[in-house]
Amino acid sequence: MPRTAIPPKTTPARRVAAAVGRNSTSLADVAALAGVSPGTVSRVLSRPEMISAATRERVQEAVNRLGYVANGAARALAMRKTQTVGALVPRFGGSSFPTLVQALESALAASGYKLLLSAPDHARADDPAIVRTLLERGVDALALLGAEHPAPVFTLLHAHRVPFVMMWAQQSDQGPCIGFDEREAAALVVDHLADLGHRQIGFIGGRTADNERARRRFRGVIEAVARRGLTLNADALLETEYGFREGFEAMQAVLQRRTPVTAIVCGNDYLAGGALSALDAAGVPVPQQMSVASFNDNDFAPYLHPPLTTVRVPIRAIGEQSAAQLVAQLKGETPTRVVLLPVELIIRNSTAAAPAVPSRRPRGAPR
CATH 1.10.260.40 maps onto the chain at 12-70
The one-letter code for the residue type at 136 is E
Q: For residue 291, what are the β-bridge partners?
A: 263
- Given this model, what pLDDT does residue 59 score? 87
Confidence class of residue 78 from pLDDT cuts 50, 70 and 90? very low
Give which of 224, 84, 105 is closest to 167, Cα–Cα. 105
Say if domain 182-312 classifies as CATH 3.40.50.2300: yes
Within 8 A by CB and 6+ apart from 163, the residues are: 140, 141, 142, 326, 329, 330, 335
Phi and psi at 256, nearest 5°, equal -65, -30
Residue 270 exposure: Cα atoms within 13 Å on the Cβ side: 14
Confidence class of residue 30 from pLDDT cuts 50, 70 and 90? confident
Q: In what order do the strands lie in the sheet with 344-346?
A: 231-240, 200-206, 263-266, 291-296, 309-312, 344-346
- Given this model, what pLDDT does residue 358 score? 46
By percentage, how much of the chain surpasses pLDDT 90? 61
Give which of 301, 255, 311 is closest to 280, Cα–Cα. 255
- Decide: 43 and 50 in contact? Cβ < 8 Å: yes
Instruction: Tell me the CATH number for domain 12-70.
Output: 1.10.260.40
At 340-363, the pLDDT tens digits run 999 999 999 999 999 986 444 334
Query: Do strands 84-88 and 141-145 pair parallel, antiparallel, or not at all (unpaired)?
Result: parallel
Q: Domain 82-180+316-342 maps to which CATH number in 3.90.1420.10, 3.90.600.10, 3.40.50.2300, 3.40.50.300?
A: 3.40.50.2300
- Given this model, what pLDDT does residue 25 score? 72
Say which DSSP state 81 is in.
-
- Given this model, what pLDDT does residue 83 score? 87
Q: In what order do the strands lie in the sheet with 141-145?
A: 114-118, 84-88, 141-145, 164-167, 177-179, 338-340
Among 16-20, 23-27, 73-77, 285-289, which range has the highest average pLDDT? 285-289
- Given this model, what pLDDT does residue 76 score? 46
At 244-267, the pLDDT tens digits run 999 999 999 999 999 999 999 999
- Work out the average pLDDT over 306-315: 97
Which range, of 184-188, 279-283, 360-364, averages the lowest pLDDT?
A: 360-364
- Given this model, what pLDDT does residue 181 score? 95
Query: Where is pLDDT greater, at 68 or 173?
Result: 173
Query: Where is pLDDT greater, at 38 or 316?
Result: 316
Q: Where are the alpha helices (DSSP H) in 228-286?
A: 244-256, 269-281
CATH 3.40.50.2300 maps onto the chain at 82-180+316-342, 182-312
- Decide: 224 and 187 in contact? Cβ < 8 Å: yes
Query: Where is pLDDT greater, at 349 or 135?
Result: 349
Q: For the residues of 111-156, what is the DSSP string, one character each?
A: TT-EEEEE---TTTTT-HHHHHHHHHTT-SEEEEESS---HHHHHH
Quick one: residue 229, left, alpha or beta (phi over 0 = left, psi -120 to 50 = alpha)? left
Neighbours of 123 (CB within 10 A): 9
- Given this model, what pLDDT does residue 216 score? 94
Does the pLDDT at position 198 exceed 80?
A: yes
Average pLDDT, the chain: 86
Query: Do strands 344-346 and 309-312 pair parallel, antiparallel, or not at all (unpaired)?
Result: antiparallel
- Given this model, what pLDDT does residue 45 score? 76
At 229-242, the pLDDT tens digits run 999 999 999 999 99
